[in-house]
Chain A
Amino acid sequence: MKILWILTMKELRDGFRNRWIAAAIIVLGILALVLSVLGSAPTGSIRASELDVSVISLASLSVYLIPLIALMLSFDAMVGEFERGTMMLLLTYPVTRWQVIMGKFLGHVLILFIAILVGYGGAVVAMTLVTGSSAEGWQAYVVMMASSMLLGAIFIALGYLVSVLVKERATAVGAAIGLWLVFVVLYDLLLFGALTLDKDQLIGQHLFSMLMLISPTDTYRVLNLSSFEGVSEAAGIAGVASEAGLSGILLVSAMLLWVVVPLAGTLLVFQRREL
């Protein structure tokens, strides 16, 4: 346990040292502030709370941004240390391979947690203080922050899997970009295309729910845009999740699975790896 903590703290310190955390906080914070300010304009007509609108716009953008930040944080984690030779030395210390991976994971997840907490959290606090608007609907905002962290953890784990599988850093960069494109852009594009073409409604409610659960980014979207009444009304997709039979627990479980499986895969590959 002590070893795990030492490794976690090392990653966290690295995050502070190379200004990763600072950069992520600034990006997320500015994004949240801008969206909150812009988002407060149209609320009058549909009488949605300002926070609800913020959740919708932030969640929509987080789907792109959080996986990107997480992958940038993680793609180098294994292959970088293999290439430099620091992994070899580290493994001659009293550390097991699962401790190395879990230590890195916890460290990187903490970095992202801090960035989201301070960036998104700080922005909403600043907003309510400055404009004096009500904090109505804060639960949805909290869920948005928590699920953003979970989304980040998923792509950190996926980044590790890429990082442990490839031979060179350059390949890891390419693979990480590919991963981002598939999950953030292509999957939705294909799904949207299929739904548009699907005039005979072959894609039924069940299949659609499954397709939403398969992609972690879509799971995240459904979780945020439909879990609260105010939000889903404002987003115009009221009842999608309940009709699709997707409960909050199911959505969160699907996302957790997306953390556990790539992480286990990384460990499995790493255990067999010879240095």
Chain B
Amino acid sequence: MPMTTPITTRQSVISLDAVSKRYGTETVVSEVNFKIRTGECVVLVGHNGAGKTTLMKLMLGLTRPTSGEVNVLGRNPAAGTAVTQHKTLGYLPESVAFYDAMSGREVLAFYARLKGVTNRHCEHLLESVGLVDAAKRRVGTYSKGMRQRLGLAQAMLGDPQLLFLDEPTTGLDPGLRHQFYELIDTLHKKGATSVISSHALNEVEARANRFVIMKAGVMIASGTLDELYLQAALPVRLEVSVAPGEAASVAERLGSNINIAEIGNKTLRLSCFNGDKMPLIRRISNLGDVVEDLQIMPPRLDEVYSHFMNGEPS
């Protein structure tokens, strides 16, 4: 799939239609609907226990929905026949576990054989996650970060078309995180679709096409970053630098119908809603030389996130 096609016109590879999952009386996922299109990188965001992992398991066919329909690559993933599609699929579970008695290389080779992937590809993957030196050691002796890296390597086996990564970067140091995202980017350029779960929003911000925000099993918001900002309708903050001692008078001249957060000696902090932003900026620039600098700070992603998580009315 060439990346030039706009995402919205591409075919959906995953669709969830009113999917619910209950364990006994406990509802873990409730009436979730979304579609994921070819080449998209969708991030599932939410606290622990929000239903992210269950959603992944539903899409992987490891569990069956109590009601609703899951469709992955045109099939019900929980049906036995969907197994044939697993060659093009990569999964990194949350806190991944391996056969401890085997060495890192043996583990990867075992999974590679199941997918029909060559040994050379394995070595290449070991290298890209930095496990070549530890490849001979038993996995049981690996640190958490090393297991995670081995987990990433197995998820990348055979250049999967569809990647499911559950909290992929926990336990990875910053350098490796960067490498990890580069690996994902390479796969994306080849047209792969990925579903990533995370609670570290800032980190995935740049990579994701779309976010699905989950809370207690309910999908409370979804969309691109811009759409989420709009939905959240959080105020934009402005910081005005003025000549020393002029802050109070500037505030007065701006009028009474603005939201002043803080008046210092040289700085003035204001906030306004996105729609009022331009008129306010014009008014500030009309003040003349007394204004030395102006900084506009859109709401940060974590603010948007906590807005949704705390369920403040928008």
Q: Which of A3, A17, A89 has the most CB of B within 10 A?
A: A89
Query: Number of B interface residues, CB 8 Å?
Result: 27
Interface range for A: 20 to 34
Contact present for B115 and A275 (CB under 8 Å) = no
Contact residues of A between 2 and 38, Cβ < 8 Å to B: 3, 6, 10, 14, 17-18
Residues in chain B near residue A88, CB distance under 8 A: 57, 62, 93
Q: Mark A48-88, 1 if CB is under 8 A from B, else 0.
A: 00000000000000000000000000000000000011101
User: How many residue pairs between the two chains, A and B, have CB atoms under 8 Å in the bound complex?
Assistant: 57
Contact present for B97 and A94 (CB under 8 Å) = no
Question: CB within 8 A of B97: which of A3, A86, A91?
Answer: A86
CB distance from A78 to the nearest CB of B (A): 14
Residues in chain B near residue A86, CB distance under 8 A: 97-99
Which A residues have a C-beta under 8 Å from some C-beta of B? Answer: 3, 6, 10, 14, 17-18, 84-86, 88-89, 91-97, 274-275
Q: Mark B110-149, 1 if CB is under 8 A from A, else 0.
A: 1101110000000000000000000000000000000000
A95 to B111, CA, bound (A): 11
Contact present for B89 and A92 (CB under 8 Å) = yes
Contact present for A3 and B114 (CB under 8 Å) = yes
In the A-B complex, the 9 residue pairs with the closest CB atoms: A85-B97, A94-B86, A92-B91, A274-B63, A93-B114, A275-B62, A84-B97, A6-B113, A94-B87
CB distance from A155 to the nearest CB of B (A): 23
Residues in chain A near residue B98, CB distance under 8 A: 86, 89
A97 to B81, CA, bound (A): 11
Contact present for B63 and A85 (CB under 8 Å) = no
Contact present for B101 and A275 (CB under 8 Å) = no
- Closest residue of B by beta carbon distance from A94: B86
Contact present for B93 and A93 (CB under 8 Å) = no
11 intermolecular pairs with C-beta atoms under 8 Å apart = A6-B110, A14-B101, A18-B101, A85-B93, A86-B97, A89-B154, A93-B111, A95-B114, A96-B83, A274-B64, A275-B57
Contact present for A89 and B83 (CB under 8 Å) = no
Residues in chain B near residue A95, CB distance under 8 A: 83, 86, 114
CB distance from A238 to the nearest CB of B (A): 49
A92 to B115, CA, bound (A): 10
Q: Given that A93-B115, A94-B114 are contacting pairs, would A85 and B95 also be in contact in the complex, using a CB cutoff of 8 Å?
A: yes
A17 to B140, CA, bound (A): 14
